[in-house]
Amino acid sequence: KANRKFHPEDTVVSVGNAKIGGGNFSVIAGPCSVESEEQICAVAEDVKRSGAALLRGGAFKPRTSPYSFQGMGASGLDLLMEAREKTGLPIVTEIMDPRMADLFEREVDVVQVGARNMQNFELLKEVGKMSKPILLKRGLSNTYEEWIMSAEYIMSEGNENVILCERGVRTFETYTRNTLDVSAIPAIKQMSHLPIIVDPSHAAGMYWMVEPLAMAAVAAGADGLIIEVHNDPAHAKCDGQQSLTPEKFDHLMGKVSALVDLV
């Protein structure tokens, strides 16, 4: 179902007024994690003003250490819904547990499956039964073929609204958090009709590298971007070092929109 051979036209995923794929470009922006009402509502207003079409924010976080901040959980979803109410931006957030499917179905607009769960097949089958679009991030060390087969798990259950997200892969290089695989964009477009967006924030791991990587992704034909933005990166509970301030995000959006018009 994900194979371009049997479905030559690009899939366009619609969420509210936003469209991703088939020549439509959309930007998802927001903090790594929802931390408070003030934080998520302020960031939502800021990214909307700069032209973001969707709001991101983690409520259930996949952290390497069990002692790190794990996210606000269900109360984080409540705050995302409040930010949606205030701004009209659809919300994108990560699901980690198949038992949460009903809650996410009711409350969330785009359901993210994180890199660490790309091959959690029971989770993939469960989100495949949902009616909401799925944002499927590439695993830290997975091939294009494995990634597309994970999309196939979702689609085989009936949910054909899958957006792929390249977020950098693990290589021998340690300077960056991950290595952005720009080749994934043309390769996936050749192999599949599904839209592909890029997450330069988790690829770079450093805020100052986010804009050049975003530009590379747009130039290579990405259907959208997902960018971490925080109103106070120095005090962020998660991924502050790779988060843009709303001012830096606004600058990025200016450059990105000019480039989108060219490609």
Task: List 20's β-bridge partners, or say none.
Answer: 13
Would you count residue 76 as binding ligand PEP (CB under 6 A)?
no
| Nearer Cβ to ligand PEP (7/69) | 69
Would you count residue 202 as binding ligand PEP (CB under 6 A)?
yes
| Nearer Cβ to ligand PEP (19/167) | 167
Tell me the residue nearest to ligand PEP as measured from the CB. 114
Name which of residues 90 to 129 contact ligand PEP (CB under 6 A): 114-116
The torsion angles phi and psi of 64, rounded to 5 degrees, stand at -60, -40
| Nearer Cβ to ligand PEP (1/63) | 63
Would you count residue 239 as binding Mn ion (CB under 5 A)?
yes
**Distance, CA of 187 to CA of 220 (rounded, Å):** 10
Name which of residues 168 to 197 contact ligand PEP (CB under 6 A): none
Q: What angle do CA 238, 121, 157 make, to 5 degrees?
A: 115
**Distance spanning both ends of the chain, measured CA to CA:** 28
Would you count residue 41 as binding Mn ion (CB under 5 A)?
no
DSSP for 81-130, please give it: HHHHHHH---EEEE---GGGHHHHHHH-SEEEE-GGGTT-HHHHHHHTTS
Would you count residue 32 as binding ligand PEP (CB under 6 A)?
yes
Binding site for Mn ion (CB under 5 A): 32, 239
